[in-house]
Chain A
Amino acid sequence: MTELLEHAPSLAAASAGGPRTSLVDLLDRLLGVGVVVAGDVTISLAGVDLVTVRLRALISSVGTLEERS
């Protein structure tokens, strides 16, 4: 569980003291909005799927650990 939850800070990290923004806030904006200009190559994350998949994996793993304990 510890190993899994360690991903959360890296995703949420707004690096201390710097102007850097949280990756989650950034991806809300860069992936969560519509397309005004389409490309020839489609990014294979299929929108927010990469993040969603990762999040689902995280939640289901934590859920499984809770049931086991």
Chain B
Amino acid sequence: MASYLYAIVRDEDAARAAIEARGVDGAPVRTVGAAGLACLVSTVDAGQFARTRDGGDADLRWLEAVARAHDDVVRAVASRTATVPLRLGVVCSDDDAVVDRLHETADVVSGLLERVAGHEEWGVKMFAASPRRQPVLSSAATSGTAYLQQRRQALQQDAQASDAGVAEAERVLTELSSLATAARRHAPQDPRLSGTRAPMVANVAFLVRTADRDNFCQRVRRLDDEQPGLEIVTTGPWPAYSFTAEDSP
């Protein structure tokens, strides 16, 4: 049996980080301490992580279950103390290996803990507000040709709205960055995955001081009202998932 790693806290916060949330496969969560740090782990069958997955329905359900369990644990800990969340699916062969990893990464992780302390993450997604247009699958499309014409037209309108939206989005990002400690861009989500029709022009995570939360969210709402070409959607607060890699700004 192997150890699944969720997050790292300072060793002196380990007691405060003790949580009741269950981890992957419903396993209890414990801490492994070393180098002044404590890692939250649970026991897993490593085989499920080593197996090659082809991306079918069953794999997607498995991925969601692991991601939800990971998120539940990280959220529970991050609500209590400064937390460096780890990426999904980090599995060590045993707790001794976890101790080795803590020693290897102690300097980097300590720096990250300092950065995220007192902060939370907010997601800001911006969509180009679509001009009014015919539905993509209009009942008027009686032939394949008519359907394709409508589809082409819709795509052109999306592209135009998207170009205008990108410029507005950059202004909004600059303004929001002034209220945040750090910002990190994620790839815009495909409309089919985000569940929206409008093209996403920006998908950004902001590291915001918890004390500045209201100020940040109010500014987002005001910007949303001021920018008719943009629809701005926030998600959060999140644990500082997007700000715990060495390569983040």
Contact = CB atoms under 8 A, between A and B. Distances in A.
A41 B5 contact: no
B195 A12 contact: yes
B192 A45 contact: no
A34 B248 contact: yes
Contact of B101 (A9, A22, A23, A38): A38
Interface in A23-69: 23-45, 49-51, 53-55, 57-59, 62, 66, 69
Interface in B54-109: 54-55, 59-60, 63-64, 67-68, 70-71, 84, 86-93, 97, 101, 105, 108-109
B67 A59 contact: no
- For this complex, into which size category does the number of interface residues on chain B fall? 35 or more
A25 B124 CA distance: 10
Majority secondary structure of chain A interface residues (helix, strand, loop or mixed): helix
A5 B191 CA distance: 11
A50 B67 CA distance: 13
Interface string B8-28: 100000000000000000000
Contacts of A34: 87, 245-248
B122 to A, nearest CB: 11
A41 B170 CA distance: 39
Contacts of A42: 49-50, 89
A55 B97 contact: no
A31 B87 contact: yes
Contacts of A35: 87, 90, 245
Interface in B201-218: 203, 205
Contacts of B148: 66, 69
Interface of B: 2, 5, 8, 39, 46, 49-55, 59-60, 63-64, 67-68, 70-71, 84, 86-93, 97, 101, 105, 108-109, 112, 121, 123, 144, 147-148, 151, 184, 186-187, 189-190, 192-195, 203, 205, 235, 238, 241-242, 244-248
Across chains A and B, which 5 residue pairs bring their CB atoms closest together, nearest first? A34-B245, A43-B89, A12-B195, A29-B241, A30-B88
Interface of A: 5, 8-9, 11-13, 20-45, 49-51, 53-55, 57-59, 62, 66, 69
